[in-house]
Every structure is written in C-alpha cells, then in structure tokens.
C-alpha cells in the first residue's frame, strides 16, 4: 500500500506539471531554490515563526515551524508553475517528462521530512522510499545534471545557431 502511495504522489506531481504544460525545468530549479531558502532560513526559523504567529496570524491559525518551512519550500515552484503554465506546446511534451518526474522525486525528498510523523511513516514505510533515501545523492545529482543539460539544449534550440536573414538594400 505504501509503495502505491509514494508512486501515486510522484506520478500525480509529474502529471500535473505535464497537464499544465509548465516548463518542468523551471519548476525543478524553483524547488531547488525553495529548498535553499529553507536551509538558509532554518537558523532563524524560530524567530520567523514566532513573529508570524504573534503579529500576523490570528491565534486560531497558529502555524508550526514545519508548516512555515513547507510554505517557504513550495512557494517558488508553485509560483513558477502558475506563471509558466502553457509555456510548452504538445511537441515539447516528451522532453518535459524527465524534468517533471525529477521534480516530483525531488519534491517527495524535500517535503517528506517536513510532514507530521504519521504522514512521514505512511510514505517512508516502503521499499521505493528506502531505495530513494539510500541513493538520494546520486539520484538528485543525476537529475540536476540532466535538467541542466536539457536547459542548455532548449536554450540553444531556440535559434541561437541560425543566422538572421536580413534584406540588404
């Protein structure tokens, strides 16, 4: 059951990115940026969370530190996905499959430790998670390298090699 849950989460994120025709490369790097923000803000997270809870959020909506971390983590990729939807046509769909799956895997790796213990346990109690956790450094490294390569290829495929045709008078 847990294997199916994890696969459904990964497939759901990837399918959502493909259905929105969002450039999954941008979302992938937005997720990396969100994780960097969480890592840098982690030192000051208690202060940020205390300030949010005392001055900006009503007492009925008091947030936990992990909720603030989730918001910081997911805000960049969600904004990018929303702003860059319909950025790719159907012809680019095959190229977007790998970055969409890579984004989904990375999202699961980043989000799972921030969830409640019961949700964490339902995700981490399977063989796929154990493999993913065991090989997370090479998996993330390969995903980053391939996404960078795809980004470079997509940049150069937009006509950088072609000479402009100007009429001379």
pLDDT in tens, 7-30: 888 899 999 988 888 888 899 999
- pLDDT higher at 128 or 53: 128
Alpha-carbon span 13 to 77, nearest angstrom: 12
Q: According to the model, what pLDDT value does residue 94 have? A: 75
| Residue 38 CB neighbours (<10 A) | 19
Q: According to the model, what pLDDT value does residue 138 have? A: 93
Please say whether the beta carbons of 41 and 120 come within 8 A: no
Comparing CA positions, the residue from 158, 169, 24 lying closest to residue 99 is 24
pLDDT at 38 over 80: yes
pTM of the model: 0.77
Confidence of residue 41 (pLDDT cuts 50, 70, 90): confident
Alpha-carbon span 131 to 32, nearest angstrom: 21
- pLDDT higher at 80 or 63: 80
Can you tell me the mean pLDDT for 131-139?
90
Q: According to the model, what pLDDT value does residue 65 have? A: 75
Q: According to the model, what pLDDT value does residue 75 have? A: 93
Alpha-carbon span 103 to 44, nearest angstrom: 27
Token code pair at residue 107: 């999202």
Residue 108 neighbours by CB under 8 Å, 6+ apart:
6, 9, 10, 13, 123, 132
Please say whether the beta carbons of 22 and 88 come within 8 A: yes
Alpha-carbon span 146 to 141, nearest angstrom: 9
Alpha-carbon span 129 to 108, nearest angstrom: 9
3-state helix, strand, coil in the chain (%, to 5): 80, 0, 20
* Least confidently predicted of 27-36, 50-59, 65-74: 50-59
Q: According to the model, what pLDDT value does residue 157 have? A: 66
| Location of structure tokens 């006509």 | 159
């Amino acid at each position: 059951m847990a294997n199916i849950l994890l696969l459904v989460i990964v497939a759901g994120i990837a399918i959502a990115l493909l259905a929105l025709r969002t450039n999954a490369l941008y979302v992938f790097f937005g997720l990396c940026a969100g994780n960097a923000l969480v890592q840098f803000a982690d030192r000051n997270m208690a202060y940020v969370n205390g300030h949010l809870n005392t001055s900006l959020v009503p007492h009925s909506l008091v947030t936990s530190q992990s909720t603030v971390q989730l918001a910081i983590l997911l805000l960049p990729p969600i904004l990018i996905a929303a702003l860059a939807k319909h950025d790719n046509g159907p012809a680019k769909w095959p190229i977007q499959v790998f970055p969409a799956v890579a984004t989904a895997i990375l999202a699961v790796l980043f989000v799972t430790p921030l969830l409640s213990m019961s949700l964490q346990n339902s995700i981490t109690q399977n063989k796929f998670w154990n493999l993913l956790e065991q090989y997370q450094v090479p998996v993330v490294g390969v995903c980053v390298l391939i996404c960078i390569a795809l980004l470079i290829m997509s940049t150069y495929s937009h006509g950088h090699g072609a000479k402009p045709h100007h009429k001379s008078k």
